[in-house]
Amino acid sequence: MQTRHFAQLVGLSALWGASFLFIRVASPVMGPLVLAGCRVALAGLTLAFIMRGLRQGWPWAHWRELLVLGALSVAVPFLLYAWAGLRLPAGYSALLNTTAVLFGALASAWFKEDTLTARKLLGCVCGFIGVGLIVRLGPVQPDAATVAAALACITAAACYGCSTPLMKRATTRMQPLAIAAGIHLAAMVLVLPGTVWAWPQAQFTPLALVAVFVMGVVTSGLAYWAHLRIIRHVTPVAAMSPAFLIPVFGVTWGHLFLGEALSSGIFAGGALVLLATALVTGFNPLRRWWAATPAP
């Protein structure tokens, strides 16, 4: 993996880590259905304007494929994470999101888009241990609602993981911008009935509106486009590596903007997460230096 792709993945991790905080702000006020609908609509409109400006055509011939990708990578995860945000702290959701890497690794091997190696499996183990150290698990009542919310997060992560190798295949037939716009348009169709039904009960506070605007335009629309551009050049498992870094940034943003205390394991956990990302992606900034160093 090239340095610029690795840096772009780290940047996406920072954006997606913040999205869990925004969900915690907006979901209790607007409701999961309205939040997901507004987020998808804003992302779709943003990408549609960009497509018009760049004069790119819509990939109507691939509407069935885009509908499946829109359901797996946008509609279902957005709804499930918004619903889980009513019950789980942002750190819990971000932690459970890391299981996307495991599901993605299995799906990529199944679709023969990638191979499972001992290095990648070791990276997954290091990543899970690292995020466990970073996210300070507070006292959450282990009732049925909490378990259901955790299962919702894991299901959303499974959808992300399973959709990534399919996204990789789609980039061989369509442009990244067209895919990003198409899947959000398809997701908009899927979530629209629920959004309309729940709209009368939603409340729109200024803070919630700002949160959903940033999620829709930046962490969904622009970030998905950027992610698809990276997927064209890296393996599906490497493309999912931001899942390990998301809890790092989630905890950091919580500390900076919400005053949440940093756990004692953040430094050791952060080191493990960085190691996990390097193992899974194969990124080694010293490889070129070693290759260029003459043998004694």
d(CA 213, CA 163): 25
Phi, psi of 203 (to 5 degrees): -115, 145
Angle between helix axes 242-258 and 99-110 (nearest 10 degrees) is: 160
Residue 237: pLDDT over 80: no
Q: How far apart are the C-alpha atoms of 242 and 238, rounded to whole Å?
A: 8
Cα–Cα nearest to 153, from 195, 92, 107: 92
Residues 6+ apart with CB under 8 A from 120: 105, 237, 279, 280
Whether 62 shows a pLDDT value over 90: the answer reads yes
Q: Has residue 1 got a pLDDT over 60?
A: no
User: What would the mean pLDDT of 75-93 be, rounded to a whole number?
Assistant: 88
Say which range, 131-140, 167-176, 188-197, has the weakest mean pLDDT: 131-140
CA–CA–CA angle 44, 153, 157 (5° rounding): 65
Does the pLDDT of residue 137 top 60, yes or no?
Answer: no
Output the pTM of the full model: 0.84
Q: What is the pLDDT of residue 291?
A: 47
Which has the closest alpha carbon to 92: 134, 36, 34, 155? Answer: 134
Does residue 32 contact residue 78 with C-beta atoms inside 8 Å? no
Each residue of 91-110: pLDDT tens digit?
A: 778 777 877 877 887 788 88
Three-state secondary-structure class, residue 126: helix
pLDDT for 68 beyond 90: yes
Query: 12-61: per-residue pLDDT in tens?
Result: 888 888 898 899 899 999 999 999 999 999 999 999 999 999 999 999 99
